[in-house]
Amino acid sequence: MRVARTLREMGITSVAVYSDVDRIAPHVRAADMAYAIGAGPATESYLRMDARIDVAKKAKVDAIHPGYGFLSENAAFVDAVEEAGLTFIGPPAQAMRRMGVKTQARELMRKAGVPTVPGSDGPVASEAEARKAAEKLGYPVFIKAAAGGGGKGMRIVGSGKDLAGAYRAACSEAQNAFGDATVYLEKALINPRHVELQIFGGPDGKSIWLGERECSMQRRHQKIIEETPCVALDDSLRAKMGEVACRAADAVDYVGAGTIEFLLGEDHNFYFLEMNTRLQVEHPVTELVCGIDLVEGQILVAQGDPLPWRQESIVRKGHAMEARVYAEDPGRNFMPCPGHVVDLVLPHGPGVRVDCGVAGGFEVPRYYDPMIAKVAVWAEDREHARRRLNRALTETAVKGITTNSAFLRQLLDLPAFAKGDYHTGSVEAALAMPKEPLAQDVRDVAIAAAVLNAYRRDSRTSRQARGESGHSGHWRPWRWRAAGGG
Protein backbone atom coordinates (compact mmCIF):
# COMPACT_ATOMS: atom_id res chain seq x y z
CA MET A 1 0.00 0.00 0.00
CA ARG A 2 2.79 2.39 0.94
CA VAL A 3 4.75 1.83 -2.26
CA ALA A 4 1.65 1.80 -4.50
CA ARG A 5 0.61 5.25 -3.28
CA THR A 6 3.91 6.85 -4.23
CA LEU A 7 3.96 5.06 -7.58
CA ARG A 8 0.52 6.44 -8.38
CA GLU A 9 1.63 9.98 -7.51
CA MET A 10 4.65 9.56 -9.79
CA GLY A 11 2.50 8.28 -12.66
CA ILE A 12 4.11 4.83 -12.59
CA THR A 13 2.02 1.68 -13.10
CA SER A 14 2.08 -0.63 -10.08
CA VAL A 15 1.86 -4.44 -10.21
CA ALA A 16 1.20 -6.39 -7.02
CA VAL A 17 1.69 -10.04 -6.17
CA TYR A 18 -0.44 -11.91 -3.65
CA SER A 19 -0.90 -15.31 -2.08
CA ASP A 20 -4.20 -17.18 -2.16
CA VAL A 21 -5.16 -15.96 1.32
CA ASP A 22 -4.40 -12.34 0.38
CA ARG A 23 -6.57 -12.24 -2.74
CA ILE A 24 -8.81 -9.46 -1.35
CA ALA A 25 -6.09 -7.66 0.60
CA PRO A 26 -6.03 -3.84 0.22
CA HIS A 27 -2.68 -3.87 -1.59
CA VAL A 28 -4.21 -6.02 -4.32
CA ARG A 29 -6.97 -3.48 -4.89
CA ALA A 30 -4.58 -0.51 -4.67
CA ALA A 31 -2.31 -1.74 -7.46
CA ASP A 32 -3.05 -1.21 -11.14
CA MET A 33 -2.56 -4.93 -11.77
CA ALA A 34 -2.18 -7.94 -9.48
CA TYR A 35 -1.08 -11.56 -9.94
CA ALA A 36 -1.41 -14.62 -7.72
CA ILE A 37 1.88 -16.36 -6.91
CA GLY A 38 0.97 -19.32 -4.70
CA ALA A 39 -0.58 -20.68 -1.54
CA GLY A 40 -0.76 -19.06 1.90
CA PRO A 41 2.52 -20.23 3.45
CA ALA A 42 5.26 -17.73 2.57
CA THR A 43 7.53 -20.53 1.34
CA GLU A 44 4.92 -21.31 -1.32
CA SER A 45 4.33 -17.71 -2.39
CA TYR A 46 6.11 -14.57 -1.16
CA LEU A 47 9.47 -16.28 -0.66
CA ARG A 48 9.45 -17.79 -4.16
CA MET A 49 11.91 -15.76 -6.23
CA ASP A 50 10.96 -17.55 -9.44
CA ALA A 51 7.27 -16.72 -9.02
CA ARG A 52 7.96 -13.03 -8.48
CA ILE A 53 10.23 -12.79 -11.50
CA ASP A 54 7.81 -14.75 -13.68
CA VAL A 55 5.11 -12.19 -12.82
CA ALA A 56 7.50 -9.33 -13.52
CA LYS A 57 8.21 -10.71 -16.99
CA LYS A 58 4.55 -11.42 -17.68
CA ALA A 59 3.53 -7.89 -16.64
CA LYS A 60 6.51 -6.36 -18.47
CA VAL A 61 7.64 -4.31 -15.48
CA ASP A 62 10.92 -2.41 -15.32
CA ALA A 63 11.73 -2.73 -11.62
CA ILE A 64 10.88 -4.60 -8.43
CA HIS A 65 10.41 -2.97 -5.01
CA PRO A 66 10.83 -5.65 -2.31
CA GLY A 67 8.86 -3.95 0.49
CA TYR A 68 9.92 -4.40 4.14
CA GLY A 69 10.17 -8.15 4.71
CA PHE A 70 10.44 -11.56 3.04
CA LEU A 71 13.05 -11.05 0.26
CA SER A 72 13.83 -7.40 0.98
CA GLU A 73 17.32 -8.20 2.34
CA ASN A 74 18.07 -11.26 0.24
CA ALA A 75 21.14 -10.69 -1.94
CA ALA A 76 20.37 -13.79 -4.05
CA PHE A 77 17.03 -12.20 -4.98
CA VAL A 78 18.83 -9.03 -6.08
CA ASP A 79 21.05 -11.17 -8.31
CA ALA A 80 18.03 -12.97 -9.77
CA VAL A 81 16.23 -9.69 -10.47
CA GLU A 82 19.23 -8.22 -12.27
CA GLU A 83 19.89 -11.44 -14.22
CA ALA A 84 16.31 -11.16 -15.48
CA GLY A 85 17.14 -7.73 -16.88
CA LEU A 86 15.15 -5.87 -14.21
CA THR A 87 16.09 -3.13 -11.74
CA PHE A 88 16.05 -3.86 -8.00
CA ILE A 89 14.83 -0.86 -6.01
CA GLY A 90 17.29 -1.15 -3.16
CA PRO A 91 21.01 -1.44 -2.46
CA PRO A 92 23.47 -3.48 -4.54
CA ALA A 93 23.68 -7.19 -3.74
CA GLN A 94 27.30 -6.80 -2.63
CA ALA A 95 26.42 -4.15 -0.02
CA MET A 96 23.61 -6.38 1.19
CA ARG A 97 25.95 -9.35 1.54
CA ARG A 98 28.61 -7.39 3.38
CA MET A 99 26.11 -6.06 5.92
CA GLY A 100 23.82 -9.12 6.02
CA VAL A 101 26.09 -11.33 8.13
CA LYS A 102 26.45 -9.55 11.46
CA THR A 103 29.86 -10.98 12.38
CA GLN A 104 31.25 -9.81 9.04
CA ALA A 105 29.51 -6.44 9.35
CA ARG A 106 31.03 -5.88 12.80
CA GLU A 107 34.52 -6.48 11.41
CA LEU A 108 33.88 -4.12 8.49
CA MET A 109 32.69 -1.43 10.87
CA ARG A 110 35.75 -1.76 13.08
CA LYS A 111 37.97 -1.22 10.04
CA ALA A 112 35.88 1.83 9.06
CA GLY A 113 36.34 3.35 12.52
CA VAL A 114 32.75 2.75 13.62
CA PRO A 115 32.45 1.88 17.33
CA THR A 116 31.05 -1.62 17.96
CA VAL A 117 29.77 -3.39 21.06
CA PRO A 118 32.49 -5.66 22.54
CA GLY A 119 31.86 -9.22 21.38
CA SER A 120 33.33 -12.53 20.29
CA ASP A 121 35.94 -12.68 17.54
CA GLY A 122 33.54 -13.98 14.91
CA PRO A 123 31.03 -16.85 15.26
CA VAL A 124 31.09 -19.27 18.18
CA ALA A 125 30.86 -22.81 16.80
CA SER A 126 30.18 -24.67 20.03
CA GLU A 127 28.88 -24.28 23.54
CA ALA A 128 32.45 -24.48 24.84
CA GLU A 129 33.53 -21.60 22.59
CA ALA A 130 30.52 -19.59 23.68
CA ARG A 131 31.34 -20.16 27.35
CA LYS A 132 34.96 -19.12 26.84
CA ALA A 133 33.90 -15.92 25.02
CA ALA A 134 31.27 -15.10 27.64
CA GLU A 135 33.76 -15.42 30.49
CA LYS A 136 36.16 -13.13 28.65
CA LEU A 137 33.46 -10.50 27.99
CA GLY A 138 31.82 -10.83 31.41
CA TYR A 139 28.14 -11.49 32.02
CA PRO A 140 25.51 -10.52 31.00
CA VAL A 141 25.98 -11.32 27.32
CA PHE A 142 23.77 -11.64 24.26
CA ILE A 143 23.86 -14.72 22.04
CA LYS A 144 22.82 -13.50 18.59
CA ALA A 145 22.12 -15.05 15.20
CA ALA A 146 24.73 -14.02 12.64
CA ALA A 147 22.07 -13.85 9.92
CA GLY A 148 18.68 -12.12 10.00
CA GLY A 149 17.25 -9.85 12.65
CA GLY A 150 13.99 -8.87 14.32
CA GLY A 151 14.99 -10.47 17.62
CA LYS A 152 15.05 -14.00 16.16
CA GLY A 153 17.85 -16.22 17.39
CA MET A 154 18.67 -13.87 20.26
CA ARG A 155 19.04 -14.79 23.92
CA ILE A 156 20.37 -12.86 26.91
CA VAL A 157 22.49 -14.83 29.37
CA GLY A 158 22.93 -13.54 32.91
CA SER A 159 25.27 -16.22 34.26
CA GLY A 160 27.22 -19.32 33.27
CA LYS A 161 24.52 -21.71 34.46
CA ASP A 162 22.10 -20.32 31.87
CA LEU A 163 24.45 -20.40 28.89
CA ALA A 164 23.98 -24.00 27.67
CA GLY A 165 20.21 -23.77 27.28
CA ALA A 166 20.35 -20.28 25.78
CA TYR A 167 23.00 -21.32 23.26
CA ARG A 168 20.98 -24.30 22.04
CA ALA A 169 17.78 -22.25 21.85
CA ALA A 170 19.44 -19.40 19.92
CA CYS A 171 21.02 -21.79 17.40
CA SER A 172 17.75 -23.66 16.88
CA GLU A 173 15.71 -20.48 16.41
CA ALA A 174 18.31 -19.03 14.03
CA GLN A 175 18.23 -22.20 11.93
CA ASN A 176 14.44 -22.19 11.76
CA ALA A 177 14.16 -18.47 10.99
CA PHE A 178 17.09 -17.94 8.61
CA GLY A 179 18.33 -21.39 7.59
CA ASP A 180 21.61 -20.59 9.34
CA ALA A 181 22.38 -21.66 12.92
CA THR A 182 25.52 -19.52 13.22
CA VAL A 183 25.62 -17.33 16.34
CA TYR A 184 28.05 -14.95 18.01
CA LEU A 185 28.29 -13.17 21.39
CA GLU A 186 28.02 -9.53 22.38
CA LYS A 187 28.41 -7.84 25.73
CA ALA A 188 24.96 -6.86 27.00
CA LEU A 189 24.80 -3.16 27.82
CA ILE A 190 22.74 -2.21 30.86
CA ASN A 191 19.58 -0.21 30.07
CA PRO A 192 20.69 1.04 26.65
CA ARG A 193 18.59 2.99 24.20
CA HIS A 194 18.06 1.69 20.68
CA VAL A 195 18.67 4.64 18.35
CA GLU A 196 18.86 4.25 14.59
CA LEU A 197 19.96 6.69 11.89
CA GLN A 198 18.14 6.91 8.57
CA ILE A 199 20.71 7.17 5.81
CA PHE A 200 20.35 7.47 2.04
CA GLY A 201 23.15 6.62 -0.35
CA GLY A 202 23.45 8.26 -3.74
CA PRO A 203 24.76 6.79 -7.02
CA ASP A 204 28.06 8.57 -6.38
CA GLY A 205 28.67 6.38 -3.33
CA LYS A 206 28.18 9.22 -0.84
CA SER A 207 25.49 9.05 1.84
CA ILE A 208 23.51 11.64 3.77
CA TRP A 209 21.67 11.18 7.06
CA LEU A 210 18.09 12.29 7.65
CA GLY A 211 17.83 12.15 11.43
CA GLU A 212 17.46 9.51 14.09
CA ARG A 213 14.63 7.33 15.34
CA GLU A 214 14.27 6.28 18.98
CA CYS A 215 13.14 2.62 18.97
CA SER A 216 13.66 1.59 22.60
CA MET A 217 10.00 0.75 23.31
CA GLN A 218 10.34 -2.94 22.50
CA ARG A 219 8.90 -6.25 23.58
CA ARG A 220 11.09 -9.30 23.00
CA HIS A 221 13.36 -7.18 20.80
CA GLN A 222 10.43 -6.21 18.53
CA LYS A 223 9.81 -2.48 18.18
CA ILE A 224 6.37 -1.24 19.29
CA ILE A 225 6.56 2.57 19.44
CA GLU A 226 9.07 4.73 17.57
CA GLU A 227 9.69 8.46 17.68
CA THR A 228 11.92 11.21 16.39
CA PRO A 229 13.81 13.15 17.59
CA CYS A 230 15.34 11.18 20.47
CA VAL A 231 15.19 13.21 23.67
CA ALA A 232 18.53 11.77 24.82
CA LEU A 233 20.49 13.41 21.99
CA ASP A 234 21.74 16.96 21.76
CA ASP A 235 22.68 18.52 18.43
CA SER A 236 26.36 17.67 18.83
CA LEU A 237 25.81 13.97 19.58
CA ARG A 238 23.13 13.72 16.87
CA ALA A 239 25.52 15.13 14.25
CA LYS A 240 28.29 12.79 15.41
CA MET A 241 26.04 9.74 15.11
CA GLY A 242 24.90 10.91 11.69
CA GLU A 243 28.46 11.29 10.47
CA VAL A 244 29.38 7.82 11.78
CA ALA A 245 26.27 6.31 10.17
CA CYS A 246 27.25 7.77 6.78
CA ARG A 247 30.79 6.47 7.25
CA ALA A 248 29.37 3.00 7.89
CA ALA A 249 27.18 3.12 4.75
CA ASP A 250 29.97 4.48 2.55
CA ALA A 251 32.27 1.67 3.70
CA VAL A 252 30.10 -0.81 1.74
CA ASP A 253 29.28 1.51 -1.20
CA TYR A 254 25.66 1.68 -0.16
CA VAL A 255 23.00 3.06 -2.52
CA GLY A 256 19.39 3.85 -1.56
CA ALA A 257 17.53 3.93 1.76
CA GLY A 258 19.06 2.12 4.72
CA THR A 259 19.30 2.28 8.48
CA ILE A 260 22.32 2.11 10.78
CA GLU A 261 21.24 0.91 14.22
CA PHE A 262 23.12 1.88 17.38
CA LEU A 263 22.93 1.11 21.07
CA LEU A 264 23.26 4.28 23.14
CA GLY A 265 24.62 3.79 26.65
CA GLU A 266 23.70 5.77 29.74
CA ASP A 267 27.12 7.44 29.40
CA HIS A 268 26.10 8.64 25.88
CA ASN A 269 28.65 6.40 24.19
CA PHE A 270 27.12 4.67 21.17
CA TYR A 271 27.92 1.41 19.41
CA PHE A 272 27.09 -0.09 16.01
CA LEU A 273 24.43 -2.78 16.30
CA GLU A 274 23.54 -3.69 12.72
CA MET A 275 22.47 -2.27 9.37
CA ASN A 276 19.05 -2.82 7.81
CA THR A 277 19.65 -2.81 4.06
CA ARG A 278 16.07 -1.84 3.20
CA LEU A 279 13.37 0.68 4.00
CA GLN A 280 12.37 0.36 7.65
CA VAL A 281 8.82 -0.24 8.85
CA GLU A 282 9.10 2.90 10.99
CA HIS A 283 10.22 5.21 8.16
CA PRO A 284 7.02 7.37 8.36
CA VAL A 285 8.26 9.27 11.42
CA THR A 286 11.32 10.41 9.48
CA GLU A 287 9.15 11.45 6.54
CA LEU A 288 6.85 13.43 8.84
CA VAL A 289 9.60 15.53 10.42
CA CYS A 290 11.63 15.97 7.22
CA GLY A 291 8.70 16.52 4.85
CA ILE A 292 10.06 14.07 2.25
CA ASP A 293 9.02 10.83 0.54
CA LEU A 294 11.65 8.14 1.05
CA VAL A 295 9.99 5.73 -1.39
CA GLU A 296 10.10 8.37 -4.11
CA GLY A 297 13.79 8.83 -3.34
CA GLN A 298 14.35 5.08 -3.67
CA ILE A 299 12.69 5.03 -7.07
CA LEU A 300 14.54 8.07 -8.40
CA VAL A 301 17.94 6.73 -7.37
CA ALA A 302 17.13 3.25 -8.73
CA GLN A 303 16.36 4.71 -12.16
CA GLY A 304 19.71 6.48 -12.22
CA ASP A 305 18.78 9.97 -11.05
CA PRO A 306 21.01 11.80 -8.56
CA LEU A 307 20.10 11.84 -4.88
CA PRO A 308 17.11 14.23 -4.62
CA TRP A 309 18.39 15.89 -1.42
CA ARG A 310 21.63 17.40 -0.13
CA GLN A 311 22.71 17.15 3.47
CA GLU A 312 22.32 20.89 3.99
CA SER A 313 18.78 20.83 2.55
CA ILE A 314 17.47 18.39 5.19
CA VAL A 315 15.50 20.36 7.77
CA ARG A 316 13.80 18.49 10.59
CA LYS A 317 10.80 20.11 12.24
CA GLY A 318 8.55 19.11 15.11
CA HIS A 319 8.11 15.68 16.65
CA ALA A 320 6.68 12.43 15.24
CA MET A 321 5.62 9.16 16.86
CA GLU A 322 4.44 5.85 15.44
CA ALA A 323 2.69 2.89 17.09
CA ARG A 324 2.44 -0.56 15.55
CA VAL A 325 -1.01 -2.10 15.73
CA TYR A 326 -0.84 -5.89 15.90
CA ALA A 327 -3.51 -8.57 15.65
CA GLU A 328 -2.57 -10.03 19.02
CA ASP A 329 -4.00 -10.37 22.51
CA PRO A 330 -1.91 -8.73 25.26
CA GLY A 331 -4.14 -10.45 27.84
CA ARG A 332 -3.06 -13.87 26.54
CA ASN A 333 0.70 -13.34 26.44
CA PHE A 334 0.42 -11.47 23.12
CA MET A 335 -0.86 -14.51 21.26
CA PRO A 336 -1.44 -13.74 17.55
CA CYS A 337 -5.14 -13.30 16.75
CA PRO A 338 -5.73 -13.91 13.06
CA GLY A 339 -9.31 -13.90 11.85
CA HIS A 340 -12.08 -12.07 10.05
CA VAL A 341 -12.12 -8.27 10.22
CA VAL A 342 -15.82 -7.44 10.47
CA ASP A 343 -15.29 -3.69 10.49
CA LEU A 344 -12.42 -1.24 10.69
CA VAL A 345 -12.36 2.32 12.00
CA LEU A 346 -9.17 4.35 11.47
CA PRO A 347 -8.29 7.72 13.03
CA HIS A 348 -8.29 11.04 11.24
CA GLY A 349 -7.57 14.65 12.11
CA PRO A 350 -4.62 17.04 12.02
CA GLY A 351 -1.19 15.47 11.98
CA VAL A 352 -2.41 11.86 11.74
CA ARG A 353 -1.14 9.32 9.19
CA VAL A 354 -2.17 5.66 8.98
CA ASP A 355 -0.44 2.99 6.89
CA CYS A 356 -2.83 0.03 7.00
CA GLY A 357 -2.74 -3.37 5.34
CA VAL A 358 -6.24 -4.65 6.18
CA ALA A 359 -9.85 -3.65 5.54
CA GLY A 360 -13.34 -4.65 6.59
CA GLY A 361 -14.19 -8.10 5.22
CA PHE A 362 -10.53 -9.12 5.06
CA GLU A 363 -9.29 -12.28 6.75
CA VAL A 364 -6.04 -11.66 8.63
CA PRO A 365 -3.98 -14.77 7.72
CA ARG A 366 -2.19 -16.88 10.28
CA TYR A 367 0.86 -17.27 8.05
CA TYR A 368 2.44 -13.83 8.37
CA ASP A 369 3.59 -11.21 10.85
CA PRO A 370 0.55 -10.02 12.85
CA MET A 371 1.19 -6.29 12.31
CA ILE A 372 -1.85 -4.87 10.51
CA ALA A 373 -1.37 -1.09 10.70
CA LYS A 374 0.91 1.74 11.76
CA VAL A 375 -0.58 4.84 13.31
CA ALA A 376 1.79 7.81 13.09
CA VAL A 377 1.38 11.42 14.18
CA TRP A 378 3.23 14.72 13.90
CA ALA A 379 3.04 17.72 16.24
CA GLU A 380 5.10 20.78 17.12
CA ASP A 381 6.49 19.20 20.30
CA ARG A 382 6.83 15.79 21.93
CA GLU A 383 4.08 16.07 24.53
CA HIS A 384 1.57 17.20 21.91
CA ALA A 385 2.63 14.28 19.70
CA ARG A 386 2.22 11.83 22.59
CA ARG A 387 -1.30 13.06 23.36
CA ARG A 388 -2.20 13.09 19.67
CA LEU A 389 -1.06 9.49 19.21
CA ASN A 390 -3.05 8.46 22.27
CA ARG A 391 -6.13 10.17 20.81
CA ALA A 392 -5.58 8.53 17.41
CA LEU A 393 -5.33 5.08 19.01
CA THR A 394 -8.55 5.78 20.92
CA GLU A 395 -10.24 6.26 17.53
CA THR A 396 -8.74 3.05 16.13
CA ALA A 397 -11.11 0.08 16.24
CA VAL A 398 -10.88 -3.33 14.62
CA LYS A 399 -14.05 -5.39 15.04
CA GLY A 400 -13.82 -9.16 14.78
CA ILE A 401 -10.26 -9.69 16.04
CA THR A 402 -8.28 -8.61 19.08
CA THR A 403 -5.54 -5.99 18.73
CA ASN A 404 -2.97 -4.37 21.01
CA SER A 405 -4.29 -0.80 20.62
CA ALA A 406 -5.35 -0.47 24.29
CA PHE A 407 -1.93 -1.80 25.37
CA LEU A 408 -0.22 0.81 23.18
CA ARG A 409 -2.16 3.57 24.92
CA GLN A 410 -1.06 2.21 28.30
CA LEU A 411 2.57 2.41 27.15
CA LEU A 412 2.11 6.01 26.03
CA ASP A 413 0.82 6.85 29.51
CA LEU A 414 3.73 5.23 31.37
CA PRO A 415 5.46 7.93 33.46
CA ALA A 416 8.85 6.85 32.07
CA PHE A 417 7.67 7.24 28.50
CA ALA A 418 5.89 10.52 29.18
CA LYS A 419 9.17 11.91 30.55
CA GLY A 420 11.23 10.38 27.72
CA ASP A 421 13.29 8.51 30.32
CA TYR A 422 13.08 4.95 29.00
CA HIS A 423 15.28 2.20 27.53
CA THR A 424 15.05 -1.16 25.76
CA GLY A 425 13.93 -2.91 28.93
CA SER A 426 11.18 -0.48 29.91
CA VAL A 427 8.29 -2.39 28.30
CA GLU A 428 9.26 -5.70 29.87
CA ALA A 429 9.67 -3.95 33.23
CA ALA A 430 6.19 -2.46 32.90
CA LEU A 431 4.73 -5.88 32.04
CA ALA A 432 6.42 -7.42 35.08
CA MET A 433 4.86 -4.91 37.49
CA PRO A 434 2.03 -6.30 39.63
CA LYS A 435 -1.36 -5.28 38.32
CA GLU A 436 -3.55 -3.12 40.52
CA PRO A 437 -6.76 -4.93 41.51
CA LEU A 438 -9.92 -3.64 39.90
CA ALA A 439 -12.01 -1.33 42.02
CA GLN A 440 -15.21 -2.92 43.32
CA ASP A 441 -17.48 -0.65 41.28
CA VAL A 442 -15.61 -1.63 38.09
CA ARG A 443 -15.94 -5.31 39.01
CA ASP A 444 -19.67 -4.84 39.59
CA VAL A 445 -20.12 -3.24 36.17
CA ALA A 446 -18.15 -6.07 34.53
CA ILE A 447 -20.29 -8.72 36.24
CA ALA A 448 -23.50 -6.93 35.24
CA ALA A 449 -22.28 -6.71 31.63
CA ALA A 450 -21.44 -10.41 31.61
CA VAL A 451 -24.90 -11.29 32.96
CA LEU A 452 -26.59 -9.11 30.34
CA ASN A 453 -24.49 -10.66 27.57
CA ALA A 454 -25.38 -14.17 28.74
CA TYR A 455 -29.07 -13.21 28.92
CA ARG A 456 -29.03 -11.93 25.35
CA ARG A 457 -27.19 -14.99 24.12
CA ASP A 458 -29.66 -17.35 25.83
CA SER A 459 -32.57 -15.33 24.46
CA ARG A 460 -31.33 -15.75 20.90
CA THR A 461 -30.80 -19.48 21.44
CA SER A 462 -34.31 -19.92 22.84
CA ARG A 463 -35.93 -18.00 19.97
CA GLN A 464 -34.09 -20.11 17.43
CA ALA A 465 -35.08 -23.33 19.21
CA ARG A 466 -38.77 -22.33 19.40
CA GLY A 467 -38.77 -21.35 15.73
CA GLU A 468 -37.40 -24.74 14.78
CA SER A 469 -40.05 -26.45 16.95
CA GLY A 470 -42.92 -24.70 15.20
CA HIS A 471 -43.78 -22.40 18.09
CA SER A 472 -44.90 -18.98 17.07
CA GLY A 473 -45.02 -15.64 18.76
CA HIS A 474 -42.40 -13.78 20.74
CA TRP A 475 -40.45 -15.57 23.42
CA ARG A 476 -40.71 -13.89 26.80
CA PRO A 477 -38.41 -14.62 29.72
CA TRP A 478 -40.14 -16.25 32.71
CA ARG A 479 -40.63 -14.19 35.84
CA TRP A 480 -40.29 -15.02 39.50
CA ARG A 481 -43.51 -15.26 41.47
CA ALA A 482 -43.82 -15.02 45.21
CA ALA A 483 -44.88 -18.26 46.87
CA GLY A 484 -48.67 -18.42 47.05
CA GLY A 485 -49.06 -15.35 44.88
CA GLY A 486 -51.64 -14.99 42.13
Catalytic residues: 278
Tell me the residue type at 181.
Answer: A
117/2 Cα distance (integer angstroms):
34
SS (H, E, C) the chain: CHHHHHHHHCCCCCEEEEEHHHCCCHHHHHCCEEEEEECCCHHHCCCCHHHHHHHHHHHCCCEECCCCCCCCCCHHHHHHHHHCCCEECCCCHHHHHHHHCHHHHHHHHHHCCCCECCECCCCCCCHHHHHHHHHHHCCCEEEEECCCCCCCCEEEECCHHHHHHHHHHHHHHHHHHHCCCCEEEEECCCCCEEEEEEEEECCCCCEEEEEEEEEEEEECCEEEEEEECCCCCCHHHHHHHHHHHHHHHHCCCCCEEEEEEEEECCCCCEEEEEEECCCCCCHHHHHHHHCCCHHHHHHHHHCCCCCCCCHHHCCCCCEEEEEEEECEEHHHCCEECCEECCEEECCCCCCEEEEECCCCCCEECCCCCCEEEEEEEEECCHHHHHHHHHHHHHCCEEECCCCCHHHHHHHHCCHHHHHCCCCCCHHHHHHHCCCCCCCHHHHHHHHHHHHHHHHHHHHHHHHHHHHHHCCCCCCCCCCCCCCCCC
Does the bond joining 336 to the residue before it have cis omega, within 30 degrees of 0? no
Q: Residue 312 burial (CB < 10 Å; 0-12/13-18/19+)?
A: exposed
Calculated CA dihedral for residues 234, 240, 246, 249, nearest 10 degrees: -100
Q: How far does CA 175 lie from the centroid of its chain? A: 21
